[in-house]
Amino acid sequence: MAIIQFPKDMKWGTATASYQIEGAANEDGRGVSIWDTFSKTPGNVVNGDNGDIACDSYHRFEEDIELMKELGIDVYRFSIAWPRIFPNGTGEINQKGLDYYHRLVDKLIESDIEPMCTLYHWDLPQALQDKGGWNNRETIDAFVQYAEVIFKEFSGKINKWLTLNEPWCISFLSNYIGVHAPGNKNLQLAAQISHHLLVTHGLTVKKFRETGIDGQIGFAPNTTWLEPYSNRQEDIDACNREIGWYVEWFMDPVFKGSYPDFMLEWFKKKGVELDIQDGDMEKINQPIDFLGINYYTGHIARHKENEGLLDWEMVEMNYDRTDIGWPIFPEGFYKVLMRIKESYGDIPIYITENGSCYNDEPENGQVKDSGRINYLQQHLTALSRAIASGVNIKGYITWSLMDNFEWAEGYTMRFGIVHVNYRTLERTKKDSYYWYKQTVANNWFEN
165 is in an annotated binding site: yes
Burial class (CB in 10 A: 0-12, 13-18, 19+), 239: buried
CA distance 52 to 86: 18
Residue of 22, 166, 227, 242 with catalytic role: 166
102 is in an annotated binding site: no
**Residue type, position 327, single letter:** P
Give the other-Cβ count within 10 Å of 39's Cβ.
22
Residue of 22, 227, 242, 353 with catalytic role: 353
**Residue type, position 131, single letter:** K
Supply φ then ψ for residue 50, to 5 degrees: -150, 180
Residue closest to 330 by CA, chosen among 291, 367, 376, 369: 376
406 is in an annotated binding site: yes
**Residue type, position 386, single letter:** A
Residue closest to 118 by CA, chosen among 353, 285, 440, 286: 353
- Residue 166 appears among annotated catalytic residues: yes
- Residue 148 appears among annotated catalytic residues: no
231 is in an annotated binding site: no
12 is in an annotated binding site: no
Query: DSSP states of 278-327 as a string?
Result: TTHHHHH----S-EEEEEEEEEEEEE-TTSTTTTEEE------B-TTS-B
20 is in an annotated binding site: yes
Give the other-Cβ count within 10 Å of 93's Cβ.
15
Active site residues: 166, 353
> Which residues are documented as binding site?
20, 121, 165, 296, 399, 406-407
> Which residues are documented as binding site for substrate?
20, 121, 165, 296, 399, 406-407
